Amino acid sequence: MAELSDTPAQPHAAVSFLKQTANTVCSLLITFLGLLAVTFIIARIVPVDPVTAILGERATGEQIATLRTKLGLDDPLWQQFLIYIRDVFHGDLGLSIRTRDPILSEIGRYFPATLELSTLGIIIGIFIGIPAGVLGATKPGSWRDQIVRLIGLMGYSMPVFWLGLMGLLLFYGHLGWVGGPGRLDSMYEMMLDMKVKPVTHMILIDTALAGEWDMFRNALSHIILPASILGYLSMAYISRMTRSFMMNELGQEYITTARVKGMPERRVIWVHAMRNVAVPLITVIALSYANLLEGAVLTETIFAWPGLGRYITDALLINDMPAVLGGTIVVGAVYIGINMFSDFLYRLADPRAK
């Protein structure tokens, strides 16, 4: 009888899972198509003629007409949009006006630097923000809680460019504790291609894999300050949300029951309460990480960090709109991917979400 009752449940669960997966894929696809529609519209309304930008102002009328036909700019807008979607899904984001190189290959050179910087920043934010939020929640209104809230408020209030400049002035200019702008000192920069094989294009990982520990330490001295600033910004958000979630959980009946039974306070907080706090905290961390990946423009500019944010900014300053829009598409795709991954982790952490 048990086997007969279990049999129909399996296909029902499989069908439910397939429907859920199909809904998620459709939602992501619609979101990505909306992103493409926005970038397509921007490309058509900006006061920059791509033909003139490519050929220059001295181009003849015949050259302009030929290139417009080749780029499909004389086709109806709906047809241009379909061609645009087709090219993007084939990995063709166009050519950079500045370098005439494929935009996707250029982004492939710049994005690992942003990924490395933002990943280290979110790690710092998580390992400081979560304990700080828990510390404030366990003693609300105490001096510890006030310090945590003050540090978080400062992280929200102070502009990132000011933090970057003050950090460079103090820790690099005055104290000499960290490296300056850029990813490496000029001496190591010249030796990088000769001594290190670009496996991931992330210097810390590639230098460690190559066993170049002097270069690794130099790269670490350069990345630690901008990563700490990004980590501080994410820590302010993570600590605030952790404090809010934890205070809500510590007021629940199951926590009171655990305390009455004599369970150690550390176990009550870090095992029972944190198990439920971790579920919404996954979304908070994912959003914070996505914001670091897309919002590190000012940090990369101040620290001369050759990442995607600086690539988009430099392209914008010289009206290289294909590069700007290509970078925007990549950032949007990464944002969508991180949200999808956080949704998967959310379902994994909370069986009720399945």
CB 353: neighbour CB atoms within 10 A? 10
Tell me which amino acid residue 43 is: A
pLDDT per position as a tens digit, 164-212: 889 899 998 888 888 888 888 888 888 887 888 888 888 899 899 988 8
Residue 98: inside a domain, yes or no? no
Residue 64 within any structural domain of the chain: yes
Distance CA 53, CA 57 (A): 8
Q: What pLDDT is recorded for position 269? A: 86
pLDDT of residue 58: 66
What are the per-10-residue average pLDDT scores of the chain (354 residues)?
48 66 78 83 70 64 68 70 83 79 87 91 93 88 85 81 88 88 85 84 89 91 92 90 89 84 85 85 88 78 86 81 84 83 74 56
Q: Is residue 179 part of a domain?
A: yes
Give CA torsion, residues 8, 14, 17, 21, to 10 deg. -150
- Domain range for 64 is 15-89
User: Who contacts 277 (Cβ-Cβ below 8 Å, separation ≥6)?
Assistant: 242, 245, 246, 249
pLDDT of amino acid 70: 65
- Split into its structural domains, the chain has a count of 2
Same domain, 254 and 152: yes
Residues 257 and 318 occupy one common structural domain: yes
Q: Is residue 24 part of a domain?
A: yes
Alpha carbon distances (Å) from 313 to 156, 274, 321, 324: 23, 40, 11, 8
Q: Are residues 124 and 272 in the same domain?
A: yes
Q: Is residue 147 domain-resident? A: yes
Exposed (0-12), middle (13-18) or buried (19+): which is 133, by Cβ within 10 Å? buried
Which of the listed residues 89, 120, 154 is the one where a domain comes to its end? Answer: 89
Residue 185: per-residue pLDDT? 86
Identify whether residues 22 and 148 lie together within a single domain: no
CA atoms in the 13 A half-sphere facing the CB of 214 = 7
DSSP 8-state class, residue 303: T
Is residue 103 in a domain? no
Write the CB contacts of 189 (distance below 8 Å, at least 6 apart in sequence). Answer: 182, 183
* 83/118 same-domain check: no
Helix (H, G, I), strand (E, B) or coil at 1: coil
Residue 67: per-residue pLDDT: 64
For residue 306, the domain's CATH number is 1.10.3720.10
d(CA 308, CA 106): 9
Which pair of structure tokens corresponds to residue 155? 């992280």
Please list, in sequence order, all residues whose beta carbon lies within 8 angstroms of the beta carbon of residue 117, skipping any fewer than 6 positions away: 223, 226, 227, 230, 296, 299, 300, 305, 307
The reply to whether 43 and 118 lie within a common domain is no
Residue 258 has what pLDDT?
83
Residue 95 φ/ψ, nearest 5 degrees:
-110, 145
Contact yes or no for 307/169 (Cβ under 8 A): no
Residue 229 shares a structural domain with residue 324:
yes
21-72 pLDDT, tens digit each? 677 778 878 888 888 888 888 777 766 666 666 666 666 666 667 766 666 6
Write down the pLDDT at residue 280.
86
Give a yes or no: residue 249 inside a domain. Answer: yes
155 and 284 share a domain? yes
CB 125 within 8 A of CB 213: no
Say if 123 falls within a structural domain.
yes
Judge if pTM exceeds 0.95: no
**Cα separation, 183 vs 222, whole angstroms:** 6
Query: Is residue 79 domain-shared with residue 134, that is, in the same domain?
Result: no
Helices (H), 158-273: 160-167, 186-195, 203-210, 213-250, 253-260, 265-267
> Do 43 and 309 form a contact (C-beta atoms < 8 A)?
no
Residues 81 and 165 in one domain: no
Do 46 and 188 sit in the same domain of this protein?
A: no
Q: Which token pair is 302?
A: 């101040």
CA atoms in the 13 A half-sphere facing the CB of 17: 8
Considering the domain architecture, whether residues 27 and 170 belong to the same structural domain is answered as: no
